[in-house]
Amino acid sequence: MPHLETLDRPLIEASQLARLQLGLARMLPTNRFYQEKFAGKESPFLERLADLAHMPFTDKRELVADQAAHPLFGSNLTFPLSDYIRLHQTSGTTGQPLKILDTQESWDWWGDCWTTVYRGAGVTRDDTVFLAFGFGPFIGFWSAYEGAKKLGALTVPGGGMDSLQRLRTIQEIGATVLVCTPSYALRLAEVAQEHGMNMRGSTVLVTIHAGEPGASIPATRRRIEDAWGATTFDHAGMTEMGAFGYSCSEQRGLHVNEAEFIAEILDPSNGKPVQEGQAGELVLTNLGRWGSPAIRYRTGDLVRHGGYHCNCGRTFLHLPGGILGRVDDMLIVRGINVYPSALADVLHRFPAVTEYRVIVTREGSMDEVALEVECPPHLVTDIQEELRSALHLRIPIESVEPGTLPRFELKAKRVEDRRKQL
Ligand SMILES: [Zn+2]
């Protein structure tokens, strides 16, 4: 399965079409959600991959509404409830969480998708993988745990521990791979420093990051790599979709695992596919989770189409810079597009910056952005200057005392949107 990743594009696309046709044939006789969605459409059994573009989208709001209308788990289920063995929830901080079920087959599929992530990062069965997160109902790291088992690596769950206990465990067992969010890798390094521990010299050689963008933001990645003396890899996945993105030795962003997902990148303004080099919304179809399928799912993630060539030899779609942010988070400040990841890239160039917060307000019909940054006050002018040359914008910055802004273990929420309060 992983070895599709270096084949010529027509072979990859032929495999995608065959998987999609088989999956639709299996799913449609019993899945009420997609039966209703495809009702009145021409034959949903596609003849060409390009026909997928005529199928309707699926989005999160729809799935949430479906679960409200058909409690507990909604109607997007292909098999009897007794076939499902895992329940996870989305970690979204707003709105009703979505409950997603997996069968034994689809849970194996999640594990296989994660072995692709590990292989991309050069992790093998000889590694010891430490997972630094709380093991709640959020799927990301559970699937990382399952994938490490499939790889044959020794796997250590770091749930129920505080940061110091996690650091001590990493040292004690000689973990070689750390899996956590990028924000939390930096937080662990901060705690290590407070306790006089040197993680640069630790046994950790590889860090893999999930849950939020960061490992594909050059300055953030360098900061994690410096703190841990390790090579840092990115990964992207979603509860409702699967573990779809992984990075390779080139560290230039993400590849989409096109053995298991069909990716489209669409211009949010008109729904048309973007050209190579352009950014748009990532729309995904999963090919291996027919118990809880997602056809043309609007991820809400903004990505750039990077073509199909990479020096690593993979021919899977490349997303330079990884996930650039949420489509909704893209701000237009005085006519200039500003992605939160671009702000992180500048701020993380300053070693004295420990944490920051982006405040978004609206003046008239215009969005405005200001920053609160944990840094010495004398740095403010330098940061402002660096932001101005990177983004061509003058952004007001207030320096705040170190340790005063929130810290995050799972998804960091650094953008505070005050537009709605106005
Ligand atoms: Zn590559």
Residue 164's φ and ψ, nearest 5 degrees, are: -65, -40
Mind listing the pLDDT tens digit for each residue in 193-248? Answer: 999 999 999 999 999 998 888 899 999 999 999 999 999 999 999 999 999 999 99
Q: Hey, how many other C-beta atoms are within 10 angstroms of the C-beta on 322?
A: 24
- Diameter of the chain by CA atoms? 66
Kindly report, residue by residue over 156-189, the tens digit of the pLDDT: 999 999 999 999 999 999 999 999 999 999 999 9
Rounded to the nearest angstrom, the distance between the alpha carbon of 251 and the centre of ligand 1 is 7
DSSP 267-306: -TTT-PBPPTT-EEEEEEEESS-TTS--SSEEEEEEEE--
Between the CA of 187 and the centroid of ligand 1 the distance, in Å, is 28
pLDDT tens sequence across 363-413: 877 888 999 999 999 999 999 999 999 988 999 999 999 999 998 877 778
**d(Cα 27, Cα 238) in Å, to the nearest integer?**
21
Distance 217 CA to ligand 1 centre (A): 16
Output 375-379 pairs: Cβ under 8 A, ≥24 positions apart. Answer: 375/350, 375/399, 375/402, 376/352, 379/350, 379/352, 379/353
Residues 6+ apart with CB under 8 A from 203: 170, 171, 174, 175, 176
Does the structure show a pLDDT above 80 at 3? Answer: no
Residue ranges in 174-271 assigned as alpha helix (H): 182-194, 218-228
Distance 234 CA to ligand 1 centre (A): 12
Show the tokens assigned to 280.
Answer: 């748009």
* Ligand 1 centre distance from Cα of residue 367 (Å): 36
Q: What's the gap in Å between 306 CA and the centre of ligand 1?
A: 11
Q: Which of 29-33, 89-93, 415-419 has the highest mean pLDDT?
A: 29-33
Reported as a single tens digit per residue, the pLDDT across 303-349 is 999 999 999 999 999 999 999 888 877 788 888 878 888 898 899 99
Cα 245 to middle of ligand 1, angstroms: 11
Average pLDDT taken over every residue of the chain: 92
Ligand 1 center from residue 72 Cα (angstroms):
41
Contacts within 8 Å (CB) and 24+ apart, 8-15: 8/315, 9/308, 9/315, 12/258, 12/259, 12/315, 12/316, 13/49, 15/259
C-alpha 253 to ligand 1 mean position (Å): 8
Main-chain phi, psi angles of 405, to 5 degrees: -90, 155
Residues 6+ apart with CB under 8 A from 79: 30, 103, 291
**Quick one: 295 exposed, middle or buried, by C-beta within 10 A (0-12, 13-18, 19+)?**
buried
User: 256: how many CB neighbours lie within 10 A of its CB?
Assistant: 22
Report the C-alpha gap between 243 and 150 in whole angstroms. 15
pLDDT at 275 over 80: yes
Give ion ligand 1 contacts, CB < 5 A.
248, 250, 310, 312, 314
CB 226 within 8 A of CB 200: yes
Instruction: Give percent above pLDDT 90 in the chain.
Output: 78
pLDDT bracket for residue 1 (50, 70, 90): very low
Please state, in angstroms and rounded to a whole number, the distance separating the CA atoms of residues 302 and 334: 20
* Least confident among 60-74, 79-93, 146-160: 79-93
pTM: 0.89
Q: How far apart are the CA of 163 and the centre of ligand 1, in A?
A: 33
How high is the pLDDT of residue 407?
87
What pLDDT, in 10s, does the model give residues 397-408? 999 999 999 988
What's the CA-to-centroid distance between 8 and ligand 1, angstroms? 15
Cα 120 to averaged position of ligand 1 atoms, centre (Å): 8
Q: How far is the CA of 13 from the centre of ligand 1 (A)?
A: 18
Task: Determine which helix (DSSP H) or strand (DSSP E) holds 397, and give its type and residue range.
Answer: strand 397-400
Tokens of 275: 């050209």
Mean pLDDT of 138-158: 96
Q: How remote is the CA of residue 361 from the centroid of ligand 1, in Å? A: 39
- Predicted local distance difference test score (pLDDT) of residue 240: 95
Q: Give yes or no for a contact between 286 and 218, defined as CB atoms under 8 angstroms apart.
A: no
Residue 15 exposed, middle or buried by CB count within 10 Å (0-12, 13-18, 19+): middle
User: Mean pLDDT, to the nearest integer, of 247-272?
Assistant: 94
Residue 42: its pLDDT value, please?
A: 64
